[in-house]
Amino acid sequence: MPPYQAINQAAGLIIPEIILLATVCIMFLAGPFLVSETGKAPEGLRHRWGILSLLALAAAMFAWMKAPIMDAGAGPFRPDEFVWFIRGISLVFGTLLTLVLWDQIDDGHAAEAYACLLAILAGANFTALANDLVGVFLGLEMVSIPTYILLYLARRDWMTNEATIKYFLLSIFSSAFVLYGLSWVFGIAGTTNLTAITDRIAAAPVTTDLGMFRLAMVLIIAGLSFRITAVPFHFYAPDVFQGVTTSSAAMLSFVPKVVGFTALLRLLPVCFGSASFTDWMPVGSVRVVLMVLAILTMFSGNLLALRQTSIMRLLAYSSIAHAGYMLVGLTVGNAAANSGVASLLFYLSMYGIMTIGLFALITAAGSFARPLRSMSDLAGLSKSHPSIALMMAVCLIGLSGLPPTGGFLAKLNLFVAAWSEGTADGRLLAIVLAVNAVIAATYYLRMIASMYFEQSTVVRGLSRQPAAWIAGCVCAVATLALFAVPQPLMDAALRALSHQ
């Protein structure tokens, strides 16, 4: 095949990402020309860039629906059912994040902020699409580098500067872990192509017993644990969440988890000689590592969240605990009758709906100058903003795993997947998950009690961030709707495991 035909064929597999990146280039090139040398921009310019972002996401969604689902063999991209699922949640939740960001950025920096968000979403898709170790790493970095810029742009005070530097330095550190682990896998297999790595390790399974292979797996899991905020690589999250805007915290609470679990689901089965994770489950030292991470992450996140008086720090620890729940699904794998990976993907989607919705409503209830930051700021919210308080309560009940919300079914799926595995490890994980769900309900219900049973000492005006209110409303309705009709989302998660 001539080179130009190979390029055209490969480009045809990544049309949604090309649309996003083309819009990113337009924003980066045109944005500076609309801002004066003193930094002043026409009033309302951020709305125009926001509309352009929504149009780009809509075009990418159309291309996503029309994109082929196929096995590309040894090609650079693998547009299978798993990619279809990851693309869907990244584009849908990217639209919600765009609405949350709408009034959280000034006119002069809106072009760069929206461009960074679109680049992050494209990077998440490329991580799933990549059929090569280098491609996976480039996808991870396409998420990381725009994140540093986005965290800094929204608000440039000393707290944001500190949070951005912490995230920047620790993200580089985690990337070094991942890259070093991938280099060891390359040394074992002699190639960077994931299909070829699968074939070579399957043909010589003795390589998985090598000490260097085990070290490679530990390095990869450690580096990606930073993305998903798993213990002991979680300690940056509370400080960063507290220092950045609520829109940035919403993005950090969800998108890195999508990227981290996507990379783990792509790399771990391949490195054990399995072309898919349809019937794959972690074994040996890797399973032990994942199990210990899951248990420590759940307990650390929930127990430390109990002590918090800052909303952002509490939600940061909550995000850590949810990473532990998802690790239960990854540890169980697909050996049981109830798929742990499908339960993980269902939970990841439900978590995105509930957590982005909660951050959107926190954004809508406050203002850019005076956001909600402490638990005392929630006092009396049901009287000043009754609709926002009601929708926040729905999202909080969902995060706690109580009916009638989709969060209840998400936790139940993980519990059943772990318990039905039939091993002592699986049942231990199921019990730990249930205990932590009870612990988490304590601080979520405390937030609801503050909104409905405490008196506010602050006079609040009407919400001036309607875009965030719309995003929160959509998420609250979806949280309830997916309790009544969860099957379409679960079917999509199950299809993501097929045709690998």
Backbone angles phi, psi at 132, to 5 degrees: -155, 145
> Under a CB-based contact definition with an 8 Å cutoff, are residues 361 and 392 in contact?
yes
Residue range 231-259: average pLDDT?
Answer: 90
**Is pLDDT of 285 > 90?**
no
The C-alpha atoms of residue 195 and residue 240 are separated, in whole angstroms, by 38
Amino acid 381: pLDDT:
85
Q: Which amino acid is at 367?
A: S
Q: Residue 483 gets which letter from DSSP?
A: H
Amino acid 6: pLDDT:
58
Q: Which of 2-11, 53-62, 265-274, 478-487 has the lowest mean pLDDT?
A: 2-11
> Under a CB-based contact definition with an 8 Å cutoff, are residues 305 and 314 in contact?
yes
The C-alpha atoms of residue 441 and residue 447 are separated, in whole angstroms, by 10
Q: Which of 195-209, 355-369, 462-476 has the lowest mean pLDDT?
A: 195-209
**Is pLDDT of 281 > 90?**
no
The C-alpha atoms of residue 307 and residue 321 are separated, in whole angstroms, by 14
Q: Which of 111-115, 187-191, 192-196, 207-211 has the lowest mean pLDDT?
A: 207-211
Residue 275 banded pLDDT, cuts 50, 70, 90 = low
Amino acid 335: pLDDT:
63
Q: Which of 143-152, 155-164, 437-446, 460-469 has the lowest mean pLDDT?
A: 460-469
Show me where the domains of the chain are located.
Answer: 294-500
- The residues pairing with 374 across neighbouring beta strands, listed in sequence order, are 310
Amino acid 367: pLDDT:
66
The share of the chain scoring above pLDDT 90, in percent, equals 46
Residue 430 banded pLDDT, cuts 50, 70, 90 = very high
The C-alpha atoms of residue 411 and residue 486 are separated, in whole angstroms, by 13
**Is pLDDT of 379 > 90?**
no
User: For helices 406-419 and 386-400, what crossing angle results, to 10°?
Assistant: 10
**Is pLDDT of 260 > 80?**
yes
**Is pLDDT of 459 > 70?**
no
Nearest to 248 by CA among 152, 156, 166, 169: 152
* DSSP for 448-477, written as a single string: HHHHHHS--SS-----S-HHHHHHHHHHHH
The C-alpha atoms of residue 236 and residue 226 are separated, in whole angstroms, by 9
**Is pLDDT of 213 > 70?**
yes
pLDDT tens readout for residues 353-368: 999 999 999 988 876 5
Going from the C-alpha of 460 to that of each of 217, 372, 383, the distances in angstroms are 51, 11, 10
**Is pLDDT of 154 > 70?**
yes
Backbone angles phi, psi at 130, to 5 degrees: -60, 135
* DSSP for 299-318, written as a single string: HHHHHHHTT--BHHHHHHHH
Residue range 38-67: average pLDDT?
Answer: 88
Summarize the chain as % helix, strand, coil (round to 5): 75, 0, 25
The C-alpha atoms of residue 479 and residue 242 are separated, in whole angstroms, by 26
pTM of the full structure: 0.93
- A 10 A CB-CB count for 486 gives 17
Residue 214 banded pLDDT, cuts 50, 70, 90 = confident
Residue 428 banded pLDDT, cuts 50, 70, 90 = very high
Buried b (16+ CB within 10 A) or exposed e, 212-229: ebbebbbbbbbbbbbbbb
